[in-house]
Structure 1
Amino acid sequence: MAEFRKYLFPIIAVLLFLAASILEHRTLSHEPEKKLIKTFQQTLFDQEIKLSKILDEVQKKISGTVPGRNYASAFSPYNNLFEEEGMGILLFKNQEMVYWSSNYFSFPNLESRIVRDNELVILPNGIFEARKRTVGDHLLIGFIHIRNNYSYENQFLENKFIAPFNLPSSFKILGENSKGSYEIRTGEDQYLFSILPAGARKFNESKLYLTAILYLLGLIFLLMALYGKMNDYLAESFPVKMLTLLIILFIIYWIHILFGIPAILKHLDIFSPRYYAVARWLPSLGDFFLLTTLFFFWCLIFAREFTIHGKSKNKLIIPSFIFVALLYQLVGLMIANLISNSSITYKLNRITDIDQFSISSHLAIALLLFSVFLINLKILEKTAHFVNKNVFLRFHLIALPASILLCVFFDTPVVYLLTLFLSVNLLHSQIKRLHIGRFSLSYTILFISLFSIVSLIVIYKTIGQRDIQVQRLMAVNLGSEQDPIAEVFMTNMQNQFNTDSIIPKLLTPPYEELESYLNRNYFDGYFRKYAIMYTFCTGRDNVLIEDQNSSVPCFPYFDKMIDEAGISIPGSKFYYMNNMEGLVYLGKIHYPLADDSHGFSIFITMYSKPISEGIGFPELLMDKSLIKPFRYKYLSYAKYFDDELVNRSGEYTYNYYLQSYNITGSDNEFQLRRWDGYNHVIYRPDDKNFIIVSNEALGFLDYLISFPYLFVFYFVFVLFITIIGNPNLRKFIIPRDLRFKIQVAIISVVLISLLFVAAGTIYYNIQEYKKRHQIDLQGKMESIAGEIENRMNSVGSITPELQQWLYEELYNLSNIFKTDINIYDIKGDLIASSRPEIFRIGITSERMNAEAFYELSERYQLHYFHPEKIGNLSYLSAYEPIMNTQGDYLGYLNLPYFTRQDELRQGISTFIVAFINLYLFLFLASVIV
């Protein structure tokens, strides 16, 4: 039996590795897509059955008694069908859409596109199965949402299969069979479409994580087996044992790196270079964590086996302390390396930004610090009887203040870790004088507090240095940065220019109608952030140069500008003018003329206005490849040309004139200044251009906010490791004396009250935030409605001229009130918007939300608030009818209020921090009792 126990851990490790290997092989090599697609087909059958039942119900209502035009009321129970079931219905009467259950798919002319009874329909925002029925003079179409199909992707818009369909997003839907694809058929056994498995991942993530967990458990049991095996070599010298173990662990790690074993790990995000990478030997955060785990295991064995005996014991004391001091330096370098070479956030003062990768990184840091502390503690124990206590105390009383002074002059992790090493030695030597029992709860909390403080300083100092480099990089990028959203629109509108039949009819002086047409149909919405100037030229025209008070031929003048500074926007006749005079674009639209060989050209010059970036969520309109990285999220910037502000972005408010900062005297390319609690990196590419990138500096309050999080994290970590990993130590940490029982009683009462009070207060804060949010939105609605109704209270309907005024007015109001604005007519069709691009590119249709339309048109609500969603972007939407003085409805006003949920999360975070600080104080007080 004893012999069996000896091999128990190796056997378990082998079985776990074998099970993980088999599961990995089945997942990666046995065409797992077949099972996924089979499940997909069955799910589609189930959805078709559900939709058929819904269509039967609707058909009965149509055949029965649907009052006159009261479709919105009769079919209102289906208004949430799309959100709840991923399905929807459209109803047409005499080719006019009279009911829609969702504005997600209610695009115009759908009835003419759907020919067969069952058909695959590809819309600008999604792929659907459509099932059509004709009921008298009504046409009923049901939709099953299969997959999103946006023209681009970002954090809000993802092209993925929609629940309950569970396929990897890399799988493609094809309209016909191709090699390697699988047919998908309807319940009537009609061919619908094919699915082509593509991408590296052709399996469910659940199998991925299960396999990884099995490998992790196998590694743990392997290390435990290795730990047990060390006891068989007690005769070997300690240095030989530790060196042998180090080589074995290095071989394990190097086999993993060299051969990519296990292969399943490369499919995990934590093992990708996206979040952290240094070199081939340390290519990902997962590998760093693995290396840290092996280092922890080695330190654990070191702490267990280390001893000093024999005649040379006095000679080993100083080398032992030097060795552990060097380990502290190694840990400091590893922590600095982790933070400096990662794109992960470590700032605990913004707890809402913390994700699983941030937690993994902090866990790796905790492992490193705990590992070196174990060795330090062991050396202190083994040398306690051989060290002159007075000499030891005097040395550390001198060395510790000296190291603290070094921290002031040399702001590096190495110096801070040296200070931590000396502090641990000094504090441990005075434990008895503080009347604190070794390995007691008070002892644990004392050292955790020390490590929390020092590690927080190390982390934040390293973050500060990394942020400065990020600011410098952003400043250089801004020196030649263009407007990616505008350029996407320029490329799209070039095709419209080429096919526009109206512009050639407007090429006659004085061009006012042409200018109005261009503003209305091309340069509204997003382009309102630019000051746009049109120059209309024929081959005989000149252009006036105001600063030179002279005129020159038009075509050569603009052609020279393009040749000297123009950078072509691919797929268009627009150019980014790289002359550092702010953000400037120049477009050229040319039309041939019968009576002029040079033809007619429209030159469009766009100057960026000195305002912050777009209202609402411009990220919704950007491809993910164009969105700035997370590391730029909290940075502000300003561009100055010739001492004047030409562009800015972010929370920091910049002065209009650069000279107010008194920074123009230096010839350095980069300057670092600090004012108003911000670190400012000032980049000077030339004499006339300055770029300032600003980041809020970390202050004492940020450290104070972050400390409780880090303390609790380290405390839970140490408690878990010591109690689970060392049964003997459990007796010291969990004693049975009266003092401990009192501590446990007080801590229990504190924690239980914390949970109840915190939960209740958080719930109250969330409700208050929603209430304030709705009141704020109502205030904006009343102000905007007042502005619009003042112009429309005497009209009988919205004319084209009034519609054009609305487009211009909505943009101005949107800038003033910081919200997007839409106006729908009495049938629920969009007639004006401050953000028309969202509708033009098909992110959503131009129909009003079905539930809101029902509440306003049928239940005559005067104010209606409704939570809505575009992709992954959730927001609160407010509606109100627009009426004239006779009480007639002219349309409906809609405010989709894209407020950032960060405000709510950060508010809750601030409250939690305050609670943790309070209860941490009570917790520490209970320990000292």
Structure 2
Amino acid sequence: MTLSFGVKIRFLLLVLGCCLIVTSISLSRFTTKNDLLDRDAKNVQENLLVKERDVAAFLSDKEEVKKAKQLHVNPKDAIDFLNIYRKIKGINLFTFQNNQLKFWSTYRVTDIDPRTIKEGSSVHFLSNGWYEVIKSTQGDFSLIFLISIQSQYPFKETPYFKNDLDPLLSDSKLLTLASFTDKDVYSIKDIDGKFLFSLKVKPGFIDNYYSTTQLWLFVAGMLSICMFFNSLASFIARKGHIAWGTILLLIFFLSFRISDLYYGWFNHRFPLDLFDPRIYSESFLMPSLGDFLLNVFTLTWLLLFMYNHKEQYKFGKWIRESKVLGIGIHALFLIFIGTITYFSDEIFFGLIYNSKINFDIINILKLSGTSWVSIVILCLVWFQIYLLTNITATVSKQLKVTNKERLIVFLTGFAAVFIYKLSTDFTAFFIVFALVFFIVCRSIYKENMRFSVGLFAIVFFCLAFNTSIKYIKYKDITERSLREPLARKVQSSEDPNAIVALGSLESQLLQDDFLIRYFNQNGKSNYAVLKNHIKNYLDGYLSRYDYQIYPYDKNGLDVSDANAQAFNKYKSLVESGSVKIDGANYFYQVNNTFGYQDYFGIISVVNQGNLLGTLVVELRSKPYNYNNRLPDLLGDQKLIRDEDFRGYSIALYSNNKLLNQSGSYTYPLDGMVFKGKKDDFVTSSDNVLDYSHLIYKPTDSKMVVIS
């Protein structure tokens, strides 16, 4: 049997798709750790040699060297050097005369001593990273060139500060500097062949590694297979078997999505952010935003196939000639489209409510990649509803039903929904959607109706209007739901992150020799020096606490601070029931606080078994005021939570008397205007200033208001 050219092309698509997928899989299977190391490390070696040649060319040019010695007095040449060598080539220069610094091209390195650096090239750790240092001494002048290799900050990595290779040396996120104990390494040498440093693959990085080529090969393979099944289904449909063609394509897409959801052969193969459930997760069918996108994409493809063959869908003759069945089918189509629209609405509510995606479309510049993906999904869903409406309207044209009867069915359904909405939650959403539905169906049912730009613009405007209505409503629901846990958090006297930090603070203070020296001097040392020393321990998470320190001698008398609290006060707090925090022996939490956290520590300073004195550290949380705080760029991002309060105003009331407030809203001194209920959340509005208040009363006497 001779196959036609069209059949051959279709099977070539299938073969091509399978080959692309196999190639993608084989690349990941046969790409070893050493292959990746050799590839990226060779790139580092080549880029480093280019920089070294630039330095060598600079030093061999007497005019350039002469200019370098005058950079500190010649701003024009200095700016030219910065623009060419620092910005473009990633090379910095320090000049010294008689070991005195004259010129520097970067402020990132300050701890250079030319006397400790040997001539030629070497690798040094300087303040915030590793550098190749090239020194050239000419008379009393020393030129020291710095080529950044890798950052290494003296604090924990954050999203803003990462210990990666210098981007001008390599954009690889796979490699890092190796130590002498590492085995699988790649040695980097200088231009003379002398060893400088070694590189290795980051631990655990290889497990999640994939190349862009692998991803696109896999995607191209899947698209080719989808095109094969689409072509095959179209071939079957053109042979007069439209139902079998549609079923074939439906089974293929269902198999594709369900098998992927069960076994993760696509969404788990590539660790993309789109498939991260921490960003969005709804259900088994939509465990991530990427799966949501794939579901919408496959359904859109199926509907486009049906749309292209909509004229081929036929009812039986006995159905076409029955008016009762025709009206019933119209009613079923109307209910079906309404149901699809309702569930689409619920799904998008879940997308906004159950995700961490920014939907602030007013500030378009701040939209992330996931935000744009969500917008694309929204557009595709509206497109699906349009296709579905067009398909059902076209198919129903063959029924023995007049346009007048269709209008009656439509108006009856609209009236039923209108009455239902009046008794539940009335919104303009269904009215606008009904208008869109009416316009689309009218353009199909009315014979010889030409395409109208005006009608198209009306449909587009209605869809945009509906989207904005729903977004505003869902954003308001989400925002109100977020304020409830914030209200509980504000009135809570517990701060788990502070408890962890205080445990670490206690360990540091107990091992601090400075305290022993301070108390050995029996209060003759400067109190400000002690306070500044303790401040160094409070620059992390505890920086959001106001603190006081009080030193006492072994008899409980204050040593240096005339305004110190009586030592018996803290003894009384312990005796009256202050709770010792977990993970610490000397820090306590004060009970019965409202809207703030209050901790104190009683640290005994002991030297060789003798009590020298006692240091009391008292910490009280600052009022929540996001706008007055600096960004926590250097902080542990897992502990940063105050951004939850951004944009809110907060007030604390006790017995209807204002205790504290923060934010832009000015609260009344008397809290009687806020009608709260115990253990319940009540909302009220300030129509004059356009504020919404959430009122929460944990007890009869205490009240939190978040606006």
TM-score when scaled to structure 1? 0.63
Specify whether residues 374 and 72 from structure 1 end up closer, same or farther in structure 2 by C-alpha distance, changes over 3 A only.
Answer: closer
Q: Is the 8 A contact 1:71 1:98 kept in 2?
A: no
CA distance in structure 1 between the aligned counterparts of 2:62 and 2:674, rounded to whole angstroms? 71
Post-superposition Cα deviations, 1:96-126, rounded to whole Å, max 9, x if no partner, equal 43322110122x3554665674333334433
Q: Is the 8 A contact 2:518 2:525 kept in 1?
A: no
CA distance in structure 2 between the aligned counterparts of 1:346 and 1:64, rounded to whole angstroms? 52
Q: Given the alignment, which residue of 658, 664, 675 partners 1:653?
A: 664
Q: Given the alignment, which residue of 142, 152, 157 partners 2:161?
A: 157
Q: Given the alignment, which residue of 76, 81, 89 partners 1:78?
A: 81
Post-superposition Cα deviations, 1:591-644, rounded to whole Å, max 9, x if no partner, equal 2268x95431221223344472475742223233234498x4854252626344
Q: Is the 8 A contact 1:567 1:577 kept in 2?
A: no
Q: Is the 8 A contact 1:380 1:425 kept in 2?
A: no
Worse-superposed segment, 354-363 or 504-513 = 504-513
Post-superposition Cα deviations, 1:106-148, rounded to whole Å, max 9, x if no partner, equal 2x35546656743333344333222233333444322111233
Q: CA deviation at 1:378?
A: 2.3
Q: CA deviation at 1:288?
A: 0.8
User: What 5-or-longer segments of structure 1 have no aligned partner?
Assistant: 544-549, 695-929
Worse-superposed segment, 143-152 or 474-483 = 474-483
Q: Given the alignment, which residue of 143, 146, 163 partners 1:143?
A: 146
Q: Is the 8 A contact 2:516 2:605 kept in 1?
A: no
1:553 equivalent to 2:568? Answer yes
- Letter of the 1:164 counterpart: L
Partner of 2:179: 175
Post-superposition Cα deviations, 1:22-41, rounded to whole Å, max 9, x if no partner, equal 14432553135121222222
Partner of 2:562: none
Q: Is the 8 A contact 1:147 1:162 kept in 2?
A: yes
Specify whether residues 29 and 207 from structure 1 end up closer, same or farther in structure 2 by C-alpha distance, changes over 3 A only.
Answer: same
- Letter of the 2:475 counterpart: I
1:356 equivalent to 2:363? Answer no
Partner of 1:541: 556
SS in 2 for 1:130: strand
Q: Given the alignment, which residue of 450, 454, 458 partners 1:446?
A: 458
Partner of 2:434: 422
Q: Is the 8 A contact 1:292 1:364 kept in 2?
A: yes
Q: CA deviation at 1:20?
A: 4.3
- Letter of the 1:335 counterpart: F
CA distance in structure 2 between the aligned counterparts of 1:132 and 1:426, rounded to whole angstroms? 79
CA distance in structure 2 between the aligned counterparts of 1:181 and 1:167, rounded to whole angstroms? 18
CA distance in structure 2 between the aligned counterparts of 1:511 and 1:402, rounded to whole angstroms? 87
Partner of 1:662: 673
Q: Is the 8 A contact 2:546 2:620 kept in 1?
A: yes
Q: Given the alignment, which residue of 414, 438, 454 partners 1:400?
A: 414
Q: CA deviation at 1:579?
A: 5.1
CA distance in structure 2 between the aligned counterparts of 1:213 and 1:193, rounded to whole angstroms? 39
CA distance in structure 2 between the aligned counterparts of 1:409 and 1:153, rounded to whole angstroms? 55
Specify whether residues 530 and 272 from structure 1 end up closer, same or farther in structure 2 by C-alpha distance, changes over 3 A only.
Answer: closer
1:51 equivalent to 2:55? Answer yes
Q: Is the 8 A contact 1:533 1:605 kept in 2?
A: yes
Q: Given the alignment, which residue of 287, 307, 314 partners 1:307?
A: 314
Q: Is the 8 A contact 2:179 2:198 kept in 1?
A: yes
Post-superposition Cα deviations, 1:548-569, rounded to whole Å, max 9, x if no partner, equal xx977366346558x7335368
Specify whether residues 529 and 382 from structure 1 end up closer, same or farther in structure 2 by C-alpha distance, changes over 3 A only.
Answer: closer
Q: Is the 8 A contact 1:325 1:418 kept in 2?
A: no
1:472 equivalent to 2:473? Answer no
Q: Given the alignment, which residue of 228, 231, 235 partners 1:225?
A: 231
Q: Is the 8 A contact 1:37 1:167 kept in 2?
A: no
Partner of 1:194: 198
SS in 2 for 1:132: strand
Partner of 2:395: 382
Specify whether residues 232 and 66 from structure 1 end up closer, same or farther in structure 2 by C-alpha distance, changes over 3 A only.
Answer: closer
Q: Is the 8 A contact 2:98 2:141 kept in 1?
A: yes
Partner of 2:561: none
Q: Is the 8 A contact 2:676 2:697 kept in 1?
A: no
Which aligned pairs between 1:623-638 and structure 2 lie closer than 5 A?
A: 623-628=636-641, 632=644, 634-638=646-650
CA distance in structure 2 between the aligned counterparts of 1:688 and 1:497, rounded to whole angstroms? 41
SS in 1 for 2:4: helix
SS in 2 for 1:621: coil
Q: Is the 8 A contact 2:483 2:694 kept in 1?
A: yes
Q: CA deviation at 1:251?
A: 0.8
CA distance in structure 2 between the aligned counterparts of 1:391 and 1:662, rounded to whole angstroms? 57
Q: CA deviation at 1:482?
A: 4.3
Q: CA deviation at 1:7?
A: 4.0
CA distance in structure 2 between the aligned counterparts of 1:554 and 1:228, rounded to whole angstroms? 86
CA distance in structure 2 between the aligned counterparts of 1:13 and 1:634, rounded to whole angstroms? 53
SS in 1 for 2:270: helix
Worse-superposed segment, 40-49 or 167-176 = 167-176
Partner of 1:716: none
CA distance in structure 1 between the aligned counterparts of 2:493 and 2:248, rounded to whole angstroms? 55
Specify whether residues 171 and 281 from structure 1 end up closer, same or farther in structure 2 by C-alpha distance, changes over 3 A only.
Answer: farther
Q: Is the 8 A contact 2:21 2:217 kept in 1?
A: yes
Specify whether residues 477 and 667 from structure 1 end up closer, same or farther in structure 2 by C-alpha distance, changes over 3 A only.
Answer: closer
Partner of 1:101: 105
SS in 2 for 1:681: strand
- Letter of the 1:586 counterpart: F
SS in 1 for 2:358: coil
- Letter of the 1:323 counterpart: F
Partner of 1:858: none
Specify whether residues 241 and 197 from structure 1 end up closer, same or farther in structure 2 by C-alpha distance, changes over 3 A only.
Answer: same
CA distance in structure 1 between the aligned counterparts of 2:590 and 2:61, rounded to whole angstroms? 60
CA distance in structure 2 between the aligned counterparts of 1:541 and 1:77, rounded to whole angstroms? 65
CA distance in structure 1 between the aligned counterparts of 2:494 and 2:241, rounded to whole angstroms? 67
CA distance in structure 2 between the aligned counterparts of 1:207 and 1:489, rounded to whole angstroms? 49
CA distance in structure 1 between the aligned counterparts of 2:475 and 2:74, rounded to whole angstroms? 59
Q: Given the alignment, which residue of 610, 619, 626 partners 2:632?
A: 619
1:602 equivalent to 2:606? Answer no
Q: Is the 8 A contact 1:580 1:689 kept in 2?
A: no
Q: Is the 8 A contact 1:149 1:159 kept in 2?
A: yes
SS in 1 for 2:149: strand
SS in 1 for 2:465: helix
Q: CA deviation at 1:365?
A: 1.8
- Letter of the 2:666 counterpart: N
User: What 5-or-longer segments of structure 2 have no aligned partner?
Assistant: 559-564
Partner of 1:367: 380
CA distance in structure 2 between the aligned counterparts of 1:47 and 1:65, rounded to whole angstroms? 21
- Letter of the 1:48 counterpart: E
1:671 equivalent to 2:682? Answer yes
1:455 equivalent to 2:467? Answer yes
CA distance in structure 1 between the aligned counterparts of 2:97 and 2:237, rounded to whole angstroms? 85
Worse-superposed segment, 268-277 or 223-232 = 223-232
Q: Is the 8 A contact 1:637 1:691 kept in 2?
A: no
Q: CA deviation at 1:311?
A: 0.7
Q: Is the 8 A contact 2:519 2:612 kept in 1?
A: no
Partner of 1:882: none
- Letter of the 1:282 counterpart: M
SS in 2 for 1:655: coil
CA distance in structure 2 between the aligned counterparts of 1:228 and 1:360, rounded to whole angstroms? 30
- Letter of the 1:217 counterpart: L
Q: Is the 8 A contact 1:152 1:623 kept in 2?
A: yes
Q: Is the 8 A contact 1:575 1:586 kept in 2?
A: yes
CA distance in structure 2 between the aligned counterparts of 1:406 and 1:507, rounded to whole angstroms? 82
RMSD of Structure 2 on Structure 1 (CA): 4.3
Q: CA deviation at 1:230?
A: 4.0
Name the count of aligned residue pairs.
675
Worse-superposed segment, 498-507 or 268-277 = 498-507
Q: Is the 8 A contact 1:639 1:689 kept in 2?
A: no
- Letter of the 1:591 counterpart: V
